[in-house]
Structure 1
Amino acid sequence: MISHPNSLSTRPSGAMPRPGGGVVSAGGAETPFVELRSIAKSFGPVEAIKDVSLKLRSGRVHTILGENGAGKSTLMKILAGVHVPTRGEVLLRGEPVTFATPSESQAAGISIIYQELSLATNLSVAENIFAGHEPRRFGIVDFKALMRRARDLLDDLGIDIHPHTPVARLSMAQRQLVEIAKGLSRDADLVIMDEPTSSLSDRDAEVLFDIVMKLKARGTAVVYISHRMDEIMRISDDISVMRDGQYICTHDKNGTTIGALINLMVGREMSGAYLPRTTALDARRSPLLEVRNLTIEGKFHDISFSVRPGEIFGFFGLIGAGRSDVMNALFGIGRPDGQIVMDGKPLRLRSPENAISAGIAFVTEDRKHEGLVLMHSIAQNVTMASFERKGARFGILDRRFEERETHDAIDRMKIRTAGPHQAVGDLSGGNQQKVVFSKWLSLRPRVLILDEPTRGVDVGAKFEIYRVMRELADAGTAIVLVSSELPEVLAMSDRLAVMREKRLVKEFDTTGLTQETVMSYATGASQA
């Protein structure tokens, strides 16, 4: 168990019961810390998971693999006490249990780190980490002890963030690290990590992998959910595959391959991780979008580049390099110096409304807070950006337009849903991302900005997003792609800009470009 002051040093081994919570039966066989038997969960008429059985053992990393909508997160929320199963049984150390609330799950030694951040942006890092279990003195929160414990935990985890910092000032990657620290702030015998590296750089991901290995060495059971196949093969002991809400199989990591797992997960052959360009880019065409000496003091400096019709122009850089700030400025967020030019004419972008009117669309990095209204339906979200221009008459929404656009979006993006009026908040993360795409595609944009478009998205959903990107590029849309996944941005981009320390330091044609060359400029090993 992780006990305060939150040291992750290795536990002694060889005792029974095991330090991680497993027990040994009279016959010598270890009882799993948690066993799920024939678990099912329905939401109204929709059966999210059905007859899933798993054994989670102490001291092992058990990966749950599946497409978005396969039921992984629902299954984990049952363990976390968020949902009660419709049928089936949960055994803890061999004894049946029911978690009616998250606090009951936490008291049993289960901690979960969610993919979707649950931080209060108006509070400090320390207040978020210990929310709900703050150190108290005479019934009052002891802020001195709170800050000390947060600092000790962050130092122990190797996270370089000051505990006094308001979460509102942190980047998405830093917030993800705070979410991880929050999940590890409680004593836990089972730690569930749902897409923990989705916003992390390679450097920060290494910090996380080190934490996972320490937890494993202490005898803690770790459930790991990720769509990044390389990291799954690196840290997993056991890999279970789910598809369409059902359990498919479990493999020892050494007894399977990435290709075999992908085929099990999607239920079909995948022809390749990325879709190649099928039509030649006309390099003689004039740029559609030009950015000249764009600067916002303290955020980015002297950014210049151009994008032709039909071109995918990539951006890569380490966390804090300033990529997302540049994208925000292109969408009318902030007041930069310099020029943004479209079709040879300067644009005056003082708001996102100006950018949308100019034909610019923006799939943001944070779909939950900036891309969607989670309580609204798929139909309302899909037509949110376009109904005033295309689907309204005298200020009244044309329901036929809404129905047509929504059904087209569901078919085009292969959104898994019970219907167009299902609340977006009830969809999986990957299907939510498809709704964000659909919202902007209904505008038929001339320039599409994509900031981490496949973050937290499974390989099947990624394939659909790549397909739509290629279709848009073939039709003449200029695409600006920001991605922390270097293989992705290299494979999908025609040209690539590398940012470092708020500046664009190098621009490449991606033909023959290697990851090593890009990283050398992103880290400063090579000078522009």
Structure 2
Amino acid sequence: MSDYILEMKNISKSFTGVKALSDVNFKVERGEIHCLIGENGAGKSTLMKVLSGVYPHGTYEGDIVFEGKVQQFNEINDSVKAGIGIIYQELALFPDLTVYENIFAGNEIRKGPFVDWNETIVQSSKLLQKVKLKVDPETLIKDLGVGKQQLVEIAKSLSKDVKLLILDEPTAALNENDSDNLLELLKELKSQGITCIMISHKLKEVISIADKATILRDGKTIVTLDAHKGELSESVIIKNMVGREIEDVFPKRIEKKIGETVLQLKDWSAYDPELARQVVKHANLEVKKGEIIGIAGLMGSGRTELALSIFGNPKNYRLQGELEVFGKQRTLKHTSDAIKAGIAYVTEDRKGNGLFLIKDIKSNVTAAHLKGISARGVLNLNEEVKVGTDYKNSLRIKANSLEQAVGKLSGGNQQKVSLGKWLFTGPKILILDEPTRGIDVGAKFEIYTIMNQLIKEGLSIIMISSELNEIIGMSDRVYVMAEGAIKGELTIEETTQEAIMELATQ
């Protein structure tokens, strides 16, 4: 007989008349790693917010049964006291506090009325050992990389005697090594009796670690697949996620008319005065009309720094070398200079830097090119609606209306808004930094299809990606970076995961 630590029965949840969850049933056995999968907007995060008390009892229909008892969580602290810990994609740590202060924040060890800092450090050290993180507990959080910060978050949950640990896209911002370490840790925690629910878009990751996987689609439970019965495969997951079979994860390659050189870097270097080091070193790179150039490399290799140094240098790097755009040597001192030169940059951090989350779709789409909807310095609101509608339709942005706040959209639709914002500036060269990070396989396919359409229309694309399959599946040529330098250029025929990693680890 199955021993379920968690049963969510007939959970329904609506927002202003729109049903986000409809009679969802979700069961998790004690001591297993259970993945929760679905396209953006499928209801995964909403379901976990119901479970953790973010959406309190009474705001949804159905029952939460945890440890055999029906629960009524009215706030997050209620679920924490019951033994449920949740770690969101955006880490909830205090950067200017130490590791030990973060681990026991809100859960301080006291001796009488005072915090016992000595015992706090001792217990923090034990928890750091448990999560296999070798750092001094007195280290400031801001001095740790994202992978180590993730482990501190897990240690923080373990300090509260967590029985069920929920992780929302835990490897989205991690490099391959940190991702592997985290997945190994989850297996270790499983051996210690801790149950894990993991939300992930990375199907290979799911297949490698899950005991079971439950798939949601359009706010409904579609199926639970059991790895021990051989039910977990990429094709089966994709079919159930999107409601159709995607024979290829990438669109078929289109015939391209590769034209003249549109952008060239010669002996290009960028020095970051804040970090007191070169972040781009003597780069030579060429982009031609109608092609997709892939830029691969491990996290910290200098890919984003290279992109920013081209796109008007917003970080104020000290630049050396030559930048040619459409055959003319250019000095682009501001992002507005880059836009005028025909260059656009879609950031990897759409929530932090790419979009105004509290503003609506049309305001975001037109934000980078207000002159395009203005006459004599006055905004034409009718034109804003027209432009917003055009991009909503052409990019197939799923939303209730143009007035919907972008922060309420799924990750894939937010990415489309971000793309629309920069396409409205009329670029000839489009830099896409991690264009499909944190979005599901169906939305990825749509982004790739848009990229191919843009190439057909004569644009050139520079695509930075940590996903090697994406680099191989979409690029015409690939540059590989490591430690700020371009270590090699590969034709698509030469490009394999092994060839990229060989250059990326030089």
TM-score (norm 2): 0.91
TM-aligned CA distance change 1:219 to 1:168, over 3 Å: closer
Alignment-derived partner of residue 16 in structure 1: none
* Matching of residue 384 in structure 1 with residue 363 in structure 2: no
Alignment-derived partner of residue 354 in structure 1: 337
Aligned residue pair count:
494
Which stretch shows the higher mean deviation, 393-402 or 255-264? 393-402
Alignment-derived partner of residue 42 in structure 1: 14
Alignment of 1:176-191 (within 5 A): 176=150, 178-191=152-165
User: 2 CA distance for matches of 1:362 and 1:181?
Assistant: 37
User: 2 CA distance for matches of 1:204 and 1:373?
Assistant: 30
Alignment of 1:355-374 (within 5 A): 355-374=338-357
Alignment-derived partner of residue 275 in structure 1: 251
* Matching of residue 236 in structure 1 with residue 219 in structure 2: no
The Cα of 1:168 is off from its aligned counterpart by 5.1
Alpha-carbon deviations, 1:261-280, whole Å to 9, x = none?
Answer: 21111012213111233123
Alignment-derived partner of residue 8 in structure 1: none
Displaced runs of 4 or more, over 6 A: none
User: 2 CA distance for matches of 1:356 and 1:164?
Assistant: 45
Alignment-derived partner of residue 51 in structure 2: 79
Alpha-carbon deviations, 1:246-273, whole Å to 9, x = none?
Answer: 1111121222422122111101221311
User: Contact between 2:235 and 2:245, CA under 8 Å: does it hold in 1?
Assistant: no
Alignment of 1:443-458 (within 5 A): 443-458=425-440
- SS of match in other structure, 2:402: coil
* Matching of residue 314 in structure 1 with residue 294 in structure 2: yes
Alignment-derived partner of residue 63 in structure 2: 89
* Matching of residue 69 in structure 1 with residue 38 in structure 2: no
Alignment-derived partner of residue 274 in structure 2: none
Alpha-carbon deviations, 1:329-364, whole Å to 9, x = none?
Answer: 222222232232211223322332332232222121
Alignment of 1:103-142 (within 5 A): 103-136=77-110, 139=113
Alignment-derived partner of residue 305 in structure 2: 325
TM-aligned CA distance change 1:315 to 1:141, over 3 Å: farther
| Aligned pair partner of 2:268 in 293, 300, 316 | 293
TM-aligned CA distance change 1:342 to 1:395, over 3 Å: same
User: Contact between 1:50 and 1:246, CA under 8 Å: does it hold in 2?
Assistant: yes
* Matching of residue 195 in structure 1 with residue 169 in structure 2: yes
User: Contact between 2:479 and 2:486, CA under 8 Å: does it hold in 1?
Assistant: yes
User: Contact between 2:256 and 2:291, CA under 8 Å: does it hold in 1?
Assistant: no
- SS of match in other structure, 1:433: helix
One-letter amino acid of the structure 1 residue matched with residue 17 of structure 2: P
The Cα of 1:162 is off from its aligned counterpart by 6.0
- SS of match in other structure, 2:85: strand
TM-aligned CA distance change 1:185 to 1:408, over 3 Å: farther
TM-aligned CA distance change 1:358 to 1:379, over 3 Å: same
TM-aligned CA distance change 1:181 to 1:347, over 3 Å: farther
- SS of match in other structure, 1:448: strand
TM-aligned CA distance change 1:416 to 1:160, over 3 Å: farther
User: Contact between 1:41 and 1:48, CA under 8 Å: does it hold in 2?
Assistant: yes
Which stretch shows the higher mean deviation, 296-305 or 487-496? 296-305
Which stretch shows the higher mean deviation, 135-144 or 513-522? 135-144
User: Contact between 1:415 and 1:434, CA under 8 Å: does it hold in 2?
Assistant: yes
- SS of match in other structure, 2:278: coil
User: Contact between 1:424 and 1:432, CA under 8 Å: does it hold in 2?
Assistant: yes
The Cα of 1:200 is off from its aligned counterpart by 1.4
User: Contact between 2:266 and 2:282, CA under 8 Å: does it hold in 1?
Assistant: no
The Cα of 1:471 is off from its aligned counterpart by 1.2
One-letter amino acid of the structure 1 residue matched with residue 19 of structure 2: E
TM-aligned CA distance change 1:82 to 1:34, over 3 Å: same
TM-score (norm 1): 0.87
One-letter amino acid of the structure 2 residue matched with residue 481 of structure 1: M
* Matching of residue 205 in structure 1 with residue 179 in structure 2: yes
User: Contact between 1:290 and 1:342, CA under 8 Å: does it hold in 2?
Assistant: no
Alpha-carbon deviations, 1:404-423, whole Å to 9, x = none?
Answer: 22222222333222221111
User: 1 CA distance for matches of 2:182 and 2:10?
Assistant: 32
- SS of match in other structure, 2:42: coil
Which stretch shows the higher mean deviation, 190-199 or 333-342? 333-342
Identity of paired residues, percent? 40
User: 1 CA distance for matches of 2:117 and 2:4?
Assistant: 39
* Matching of residue 498 in structure 1 with residue 472 in structure 2: no
* Matching of residue 485 in structure 1 with residue 485 in structure 2: no
The Cα of 1:184 is off from its aligned counterpart by 4.6
**RMSD (Å), alpha carbons:** 2.4
User: 2 CA distance for matches of 1:139 and 1:447?
Assistant: 62
One-letter amino acid of the structure 2 residue matched with residue 276 of structure 1: K
| Contiguous gaps of at least 5 residues in structure 2 | 272-276
User: 2 CA distance for matches of 1:320 and 1:170?
Assistant: 13
User: 2 CA distance for matches of 1:249 and 1:117?
Assistant: 30
Alpha-carbon deviations, 1:13-48, whole Å to 9, x = none?
Answer: xxxxxxxxxxxxxxxx34411110100111111111
One-letter amino acid of the structure 2 residue matched with residue 295 of structure 1: A
Alignment-derived partner of residue 25 in structure 2: 53
One-letter amino acid of the structure 2 residue matched with residue 439 of structure 1: K
Alignment of 1:324-473 (within 5 A): 324-331=304-311, 332-333=313-314, 334-338=316-320, 339-386=322-369, 388-473=370-455
User: 1 CA distance for matches of 2:280 and 2:135?
Assistant: 21
Which stretch shows the higher mean deviation, 122-131 or 347-356? 122-131
One-letter amino acid of the structure 2 residue matched with residue 278 of structure 1: I
User: 2 CA distance for matches of 1:146 and 1:302?
Assistant: 48
User: Contact between 2:290 and 2:455, CA under 8 Å: does it hold in 1?
Assistant: yes
User: Contact between 2:342 and 2:429, CA under 8 Å: does it hold in 1?
Assistant: yes
Alpha-carbon deviations, 1:73-123, whole Å to 9, x = none?
Answer: 100111111113421111112211111111111111111111234344454
Alpha-carbon deviations, 1:110-159, whole Å to 9, x = none?
Answer: 11111234344454555444433344566555666656655554454344
TM-aligned CA distance change 1:390 to 1:180, over 3 Å: farther
Alignment-derived partner of residue 19 in structure 1: none
User: 1 CA distance for matches of 2:82 and 2:402?
Assistant: 39
User: 1 CA distance for matches of 2:62 and 2:40?
Assistant: 23
User: 2 CA distance for matches of 1:428 and 1:46?
Assistant: 14
One-letter amino acid of the structure 2 residue matched with residue 52 of structure 1: V
